[in-house]
């Protein structure tokens, strides 16, 4: 063994152990209550190592032994272990066009705090929005601290382009450009060691679907988010795919008609020119601002213009998603936001286009489902993303607990 290897060996062992703690924690999170033997068998780690890792995770409060009795074993069996929710939580925040939302969720996904403020952020100064958001965040952090739950970090969902360092470059529907979201929030919170970042709301919707929604167990899927515009969060191999600079997932600006209508982005024939909510409402003969619920009501009543508008939207969304399937071969699509509310009428058209346009369509069926998380998808995904660092290094909760 070379001297260099000897010196680095303890550090490597520590980092291998940290990694393995994360592997065991994630395994139990994904698969539910498990015996140590099952964890060893499934992860390929040896039984002694798993026992020691499980012991450490129990000691730091991230796992606990279940009450379930094991039958048919001789002697005092080690009980299966499950996630313990009381130790650590992720803070999720969202700046929507017409609301602010906050949620804190623990490792099991259980809500520890939740608040929502309906407020039009378009007409407010940026400073005023952050003052309000800071107030909501402090409410959550105080409640967590009082309950002895440590906060792993905070993620702020925004309706715009976020670069790979977590900075908001532009949010057209808020009228914001170059807003330092994490820094402004940290100022409101009196800084502290809490890691904060911003993330695009469609990416967060995808995280929520992966964590606790329709895409649980799917490692490759696309989440389509209908807010004012249309966006997408892409998950590949169980991880969010943001693109090289963080700008991927702009499904709303995928071209479906090269000579089509001018889009707000400056291009022509983008998905948003046919599928954006205002556009849909107009085609259905409703006022802009009537909302997706009003359109759904018309469709339920069998209104022909509403049904035709939805039919057209499903067709065009399907054309764009068929390209997505040809390019990325996802296992499924989850439709969220206002599009999720209208999914009953959109999905048949989407399925038709996928069946007709995707080269590999006949070798496997694509799952197209509506999100069940509704307007909470982004803020739930923000909690999930904030908790991710606990899975990559579970021992950080010990450091976080020291004030």
* Binding window for Zn ion (CB under 5 A); candidates: 26-34, 267-275, 276-284, 363-371: 267-275
Q: Which residue has the tokens 């069946």?
A: 355
Q: Closest separation between CB of residue 250 and Zn ion, Å?
A: 8
Is the distance from CB of 375 to CB of 103 less than 8 angstroms? no
- Which residue in 250, 231, 191 sits closest to 338, CA to CA? 231
Nearer to Zn ion by Cβ, of 185 and 270: the residue is 270
Residue 240: its H or E element: strand 239-241
> Is the C-alpha dihedral spanning 122, 124, 126, 128 positive or negative?
negative
**Alpha-helical regions (H) of 284-334:** 292-300, 304-328
The answer to the question of residue 170 lying near Zn ion (CB under 5 A) is no
Least distance to Zn ion, CB of residue 223, Å? 19
Which residue's CB is nearer to Zn ion, number 321 or number 396?
A: 321
Q: Which stretch binds Zn ion (CB under 5 A): 212-220, 232-240, 269-277, 307-315?
A: 269-277
- DSSP secondary structure string for all residues of 158-220: ESSEE-TTS-EEEETTTTEEEE-HHHHHHHHTT--S--EEEEEHHHHHHHHHHHHSTTTT-SS
From 332, 340, 338, select the one nearest 371 (Cα to Cα).
340
Rounded (5°) CA angle 218-223-228: 165
**Binding-site member from 36, 242, 253, 315 for Zn ion (CB under 5 A):** 253
Does 255 help bind Zn ion (rule: CB under 5 A)?
A: no
Instruction: Count the site residues for Zn ion by CB under 5 A.
Output: 5
Q: Determine which residue in the list 51, 173, 267, 326 makes contact with Zn ion, applying CB under 5 A.
A: 267
Q: Does residue 265 touch Zn ion according to CB under 5 A?
A: yes
> Of 65-73, 95-103, 265-273, 302-310, which part binds Zn ion (CB under 5 A)?
265-273
Which CB atom, from 204 or from 270, has the smaller least distance to Zn ion?
Answer: 270
- 173 near Zn ion (CB under 5 A): no
Bridge-based pairing of strands 239-241 and 230-236 is antiparallel
Q: By rule CB under 5 A, what string of x and - marks binding of each residue 210-249 to Zn ion? A: ----------------------------------------
Taking the least distance from each CB to Zn ion, the nearer of 40 and 251 is: 251
β-strands 332-336, 221-226 pairing: parallel
270 makes contact with Zn ion (CB under 5 A): yes
Question: Which residue in 24, 162, 222, 263 binds Zn ion (CB under 5 A)?
Answer: 263
Distance CA 230, CA 337 (A): 9
Contact 229, 276 (CB under 8 A): yes
Stretch that binds Zn ion, among 2-10, 20-28, 252-260, 336-344 (CB under 5 A): 252-260
Interface positions with Zn ion (CB under 5 A)? 253, 263, 265, 267, 270
């Amino acid at each position: 063994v070379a001297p260099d290897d000897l010196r680095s060996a303890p550090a490597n062992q520590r980092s291998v152990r940290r990694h393995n703690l994360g592997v065991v924690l994630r395994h139990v999170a994904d698969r539910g209550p498990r015996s140590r033997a099952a964890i060893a068998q499934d992860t390929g780690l040896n039984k002694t190592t798993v026992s020691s890792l499980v012991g450490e995770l129990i000691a730091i409060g991230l796992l606990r032994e279940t009450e379930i009795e094991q039958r048919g074993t001789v002697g005092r069996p080690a009980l299966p272990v499950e996630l313990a929710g009381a130790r650590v939580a992720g803070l999720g925040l969202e700046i929507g066009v017409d609301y602010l939302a906050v949620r804190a969720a623990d490792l099991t996904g259980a809500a520890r705090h939740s608040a929502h403020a309906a407020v039009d952020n378009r007409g407010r100064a940026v400073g005023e929005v952050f003052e309000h958001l800071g107030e909501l965040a402090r409410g959550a952090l105080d409640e967590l601290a009082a309950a002895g739950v440590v906060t792993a970090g905070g993620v702020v969902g925004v309706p715009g382009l976020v670069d790979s360092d977590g900075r908001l470059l532009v949010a057209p529907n808020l009228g914001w450009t170059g807003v330092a979201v994490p820094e402004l929030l940290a100022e409101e919170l009196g800084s502290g060691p809490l890691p904060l970042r911003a993330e695009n709301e469609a990416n967060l919707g995808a995280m929520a679907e992966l964590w606790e929604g329709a895409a649980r167990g799917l490692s490759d899927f696309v989440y389509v988010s209908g807010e004012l515009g249309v966006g997408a969060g892409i998950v590949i191999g169980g991880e969010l795919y943001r693109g090289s600079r963080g700008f991927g997932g702009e499904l709303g600006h995928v071209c479906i008609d090269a000579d089509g209508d001018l889009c707000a982005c400056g291009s022509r024939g983008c998905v948003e020119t046919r599928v954006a909510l205002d556009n849909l409402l107009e085609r259905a003969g409703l006022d802009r601002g009537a909302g997706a619920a009003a359109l759904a009501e018309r469709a339920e009543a069998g209104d022909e213009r509403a049904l035709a508008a939805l039919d057209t939207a499903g067709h065009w969304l399907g054309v764009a998603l068929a390209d997505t399937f040809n390019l990325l071969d996802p296992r499924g699509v989850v439709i969220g936001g206002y599009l999720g509310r209208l999914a009953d009428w959109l999905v048949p058209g989407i399925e038709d286009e996928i069946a007709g346009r995707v080269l590999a369509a006949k070798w496997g069926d694509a799952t197209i489902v509506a999100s069940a998380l509704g307007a909470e998808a982004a803020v739930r995904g923000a909690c999930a993303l904030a908790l991710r660092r606990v899975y990559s290094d579970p021992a950080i909760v010990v450091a976080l607990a020291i004030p």
